[in-house]
Amino acid sequence: MPLRWQSGRPYRRGVLLLVRHGETAPNVDGLLLGRADPPLTERGQAQARALAAAVPVPELVVSSPLRRAVDTAAAFGAPAQVDERWIELDYGDLDGRHPAAVPGDVWARWRTDASFAPPGGESLSSLGRRVRSACDALAEPAAEAVVVVVTHVSPIKAALSWALGCGELVAWRMYVEDACITRIDIEAGGPVLRWFNRGPLTAP
């Protein structure tokens, strides 16, 4: 079924929508995709249009600087503010590799130590610091508006850690689909996770 905004009820202000970009070829192949910058596939472009049609017109659109995010953000119709803090995790030497090619000891260290960074890459702790800073910066405008952030898997997980008040290693217990929306309501008492991983009806 198509995604519906609050089951047909009038929407409210105070909403931060985290949108994962549309599909790319490395996503189809199941590869680790960090700072590499491939374009959207045709399906990814259709997903971007469906995302934009699924939510209210936002007052503010923020995007990662990577092409796949910028092109997805363009579908929302408003000029996007590019914020480097929403860029994908830097996988370093692992960028573009299949997960099965990553040595087991690297996975074990990565899953248990938030300060660990793959060779030439970035740690989950570093990612968490920059994304939490970006979330804090958006909390005030998002308290009075609908704000869309078009970003990537790892920053969405880090933003959820910010909203839930938990550590970065919880990222390993989440899976973020292509072209899906996570909704965080900005309440007086703090952020509240409302939706996770919802997607609009898109072309097959």
For residue range 173-193, list pLDDT tens digits in order: 999 999 999 999 999 999 999
Task: Tell me whether residue 3 is in a domain.
Answer: no
Q: pLDDT category, 81, cuts 50, 70, 90?
A: very high
Q: How many distinct structural domains can be found in the chain?
A: 1
- Identify whether 187 is part of a domain: yes
Distance CA 6, CA 44 (A): 25
CB burial readout 37-64, b (16+ within 10 A) else e: ebebbebbbbbbbbbbebbeebebbbbb
User: Is residue 50 domain-resident?
Assistant: yes
Residue with tokens 């997960």: 99
How much is the pTM?
A: 0.93
Catalytic position from the list 21, 23, 122, 168: 21
Annotated catalytic, 88? yes
pLDDT-derived band at 55 (thresholds 50, 70, 90) equals confident
Give tens-digit pLDDT for 146-167. 999 999 999 999 999 999 999 9
Q: Tell me which of 23, 42, 84, 88 is the catalytic residue.
A: 88
Domain-located, residue 2: no
144 is catalytic: no
- Residue spans of alpha helices (H) in the chain: 25-28, 42-54, 67-74, 104-112, 124-142, 153-164
CATH of the domain at 93: 3.40.50.1240
Assigned domain for 133 exists:
yes
Q: Is residue 115 part of a domain?
A: yes
- Note the pLDDT tens digit of each residue in 1-43: 344 454 444 456 689 999 999 999 999 999 999 999 999 999 9
Whether residue 203 lies inside any domain: the answer is no
Please tell me the distance from the alpha carbon of residue 193 to that of residue 11, in angstroms, as a whole number. 16
How far is it, in rounded angstroms, from Cα 163 to Cα 140? Answer: 14
Q: Cβ of 181: how many Cβ atoms within 10 Å?
A: 21
103-139 pLDDT per residue, tens: 999 999 999 999 999 999 999 999 999 999 999 999 9
Q: Residue 118 belongs to what domain range?
A: 11-198
1 located within any domain: no
